[in-house]
Every structure is written in structure tokens, then in C-alpha cells.
Amino acid sequence: MILSWIGDNRLWIVATFIIVLGTALGAWFCTGFVRRLHRRAEKTANPWDDALVAALNPPAMVLIWLLGLTLAAGRAGSATGAEIFSLVVPVRQIGLILVLTWFALRFARNVEANLRNPQYMSKPMDATTVRAMGKLVRVSILITSALVLMQYLGYSISGVLAFGGIGGLAVGFAAKDLLANFFGGLMVYLDRPFAVGDWVRSPDKEIEGTVEDIGWRLTRIRTFDKRPLYIPNSIFNQIAVENPSRMLNRRIFETIGVRYEDAGQLSAIVTDVKAMLQEHPEIDSNQTLIVNFNSFAPSSLDFFIYCFTRTTEWVRFHEIKQDILLTVLRIIEGHGASCAFPTSTVHIAEVPEGLRDTTAKG
């Protein structure tokens, strides 16, 4: 009776209302379902299911509303015949492509983060490699989505690819520096001479600091005086780069001099210093360890210390080095000797008696 009162030409209003209401209920149920999936995924240490569930919301909600609203708009358009509703199908198709692209990008970003997280991986993957692969995957997703959109909008993909092949040469000449930096960054990702967080320096350039970010065009290094240093990636194809962060040990190489009058104690001093280093818990006895008398210097008898610490940490290394040098000083003093310092000896000849009398009369 109510439907007959409303009339057949008004049934689309009721249908549209029901579709919108159903869409709202579907979005509400989907939210609860995703929430339960999230709680279940938290109970496992799998990086893939957590990344998938985290990527579902909000793209899943947007997809439900997109399908529901476009369906309602299509129903209204078929009833009213309004020209604006002819855009419903293109909007639905384009929106579907964009939502799926959004979901894929979120999933790729979540996987990238999880593969570097010790919570999910007992041995997290190298951060630089994961970043590089993540960027490649995201670029591939964007390019694929763009090609699908262009094909749907009526553009010929083969024509676009042909234009890319013909115009690639011109683009290469116009953007050779950009391409050089791109491939320089690619080589850094593949060869991995350094990673984010490493301390690097170059003997060829005034480059030294901690790597903060490796981009496709620039690498950002924070110098030790806290200045950011932006280096084009192509530079790394032309210079030598040292990575002190990957040292296995740090070297102590010092020359110590004792006085010439303490020559009798030099052999015992050298023996005791070597024994001290061999027993020191912070010195790696598996590496080269040398303590030997080295040279007759102008003001001292020099012996040198050559050894390696177990630690590579910069601050800790200097604490160990200080302890060793102070211990060497105590050993030298314990043998009744002293460290030498630059000295000069002046010999005063006795004046002959005849010359002394002449000088006195003058």
C-alpha cells in the first residue's frame, strides 16, 4: 500500500536508500572483521600477515563505499536519466584502480618495515637492501597502475612505449647527470659499500661522517660537527670510500723513547711491556702484536708498540689506549728509568793558561 502511494517513479529513492544503508553496514562489519584479523595476526611473528592486515584499513573501507555509492548513483541515474550519472562507471573503474594501488603501496611499505624489525625477524635483513627493494617494488606498482589507467582512458600503451623508446635518447642527453646519479645509487644498493648508520670517509674527497639516507639521486651524510652533507651518487663511482664501521679491530701504533742513560733497563722494559699486552683482556692476541727496540733517536732510545684492540668502538678504543700507555709509563718508572725528551748537551772547553792571562789583562 505504501509502495503504491509512493508510486513507481519514486521507487529508486527507496532502492538508493537501501543501497547506501547496506554500504554503511558492510563498512561497519568490514571494520570489525579487520580488527579481529589484526588481533589474530598480532599473535604470530610472521611479517607478511601483519603487513597485509595493516594495509587493509582504510583501503577496504574506501573500496566498499566506492562500490556502494557508485551502485546507488547508477540506480539513481537509470531512474532520472541525468547526464551527470553517466560518469558513474568511469569513476568506479578509476577509483578501483587507485584503491588497489593504494593498498599495494601500503602493503609494500609495511613489508619493508617488518623485514627490518627484530620483532618479526630473528636476523633482520640489511636495511639498505630492504630500502632498495622496497623502492623498486613501489616504483613498479606506480608504473603498472599508470599504464592500466592510461589503457582504460583510451591511450595506447604501445604508443607510449614507442615514444619512450624514441624519446629515451633525447631524455638521456638532457638528463645525463640525473641518470648518472640514479645508476650511482643503484650501484651503491647492489655493491653495498656502506649502509645507513655506517661511518664512512673518502681519502679522495673531504667526506667523513655517518650515513643517514641513501636516495636515488643523493646520499645524505651527517658530518661529525653535525652538518648535513649531500653527495650526488655518481661521485661514489669515481672515488675510494673507506668504511671504518666494518673494521674488525682498531690498531694501537705508538713509539716510546727512554733516556740513553737507561739503556741497561731497555731490554727488561720491552719484555715487560710485551707481556703486559699479551695478558691485557682488551688486546686481541690473535692479531699481530709487536714490541721491539726500534731506533737510536737524537735524544732517546725508541721502542714501538703495535697491537690491536678487540673493540672497534671509537670512545672505548681511546679508553683502552689510555690505560695501556699509562701502564707502559708505570713499567718504565718501575725499572728506575724515565721517558726521554729533546735535550742538548753543551761541552765547555777549558781555556789555556796563557790565553787566560791575556784575556784577563785585556
Nearest to 93 by CA among 67, 113, 57: 67
Question: What are the E-state strand segments in 113-206?
Answer: 199-202
Q: Which residue has the cell 789555556?
A: 352
Per-residue pLDDT at 180 exceeds 70: yes
Mean pLDDT of 11-16: 72
Residue 351: band (very low, low, confident or very high) from pLDDT cuts 50, 70, 90: low
Mean pLDDT of 323-343: 91
Ramachandran region, residue 81 (left: φ > 0; alpha: ψ -120 to 50; beta: rest): left
**Choice among 10-19, 45-54, 89-98, 233-242 with the minimum mean pLDDT:** 10-19
- Greatest CA separation for the chain: 154
Q: Which residue has the cell 630500502?
A: 131
For the chain, the residue count is 362
| Cβ(118)–Cβ(63) below 8 Å | no
- Residue 345's SS3 state is coil
CA distance 138 to 127: 16
| Cβ(211)–Cβ(229) below 8 Å | no
Residue 160: band (very low, low, confident or very high) from pLDDT cuts 50, 70, 90: low
pLDDT value of residue 3: 47
Arithmetic mean of pLDDT over the chain: 81
CA distance readout (Å), 143 to 134, 137, 149, 349: 14, 10, 10, 94
Per residue in 121-146, pLDDT tens? 666 666 666 777 777 788 888 888 88
Predicted TM-score of the model (pTM)? 0.55
Mean pLDDT of 87-106: 85
Residue 126 CA, chain-centre distance (Å), reads 9
User: Which residues make Cβ contacts (< 8 Å) with residue 34, sequence separation at least 6?
Assistant: 53, 56, 57, 60
Amino acid at 28: W
Q: Number of H helices and number of E strands within the chain? A: 11, 7
Cell of 229: 652533507
- End-to-end Cα, the chain, rounded Å: 152
Residue 1: band (very low, low, confident or very high) from pLDDT cuts 50, 70, 90: very low
pLDDT value of residue 4: 47
DSSP 153: T
Ramachandran region, residue 209 (left: φ > 0; alpha: ψ -120 to 50; beta: rest): left
User: Which residues make Cβ contacts (< 8 Å) with residue 26, sequence separation at least 6?
Assistant: 64, 68
Q: 58: cis peptide before it, omega within 30°?
A: yes
Per-residue pLDDT at 231 exceeds 70: yes
| Cβ(214)–Cβ(130) below 8 Å | no
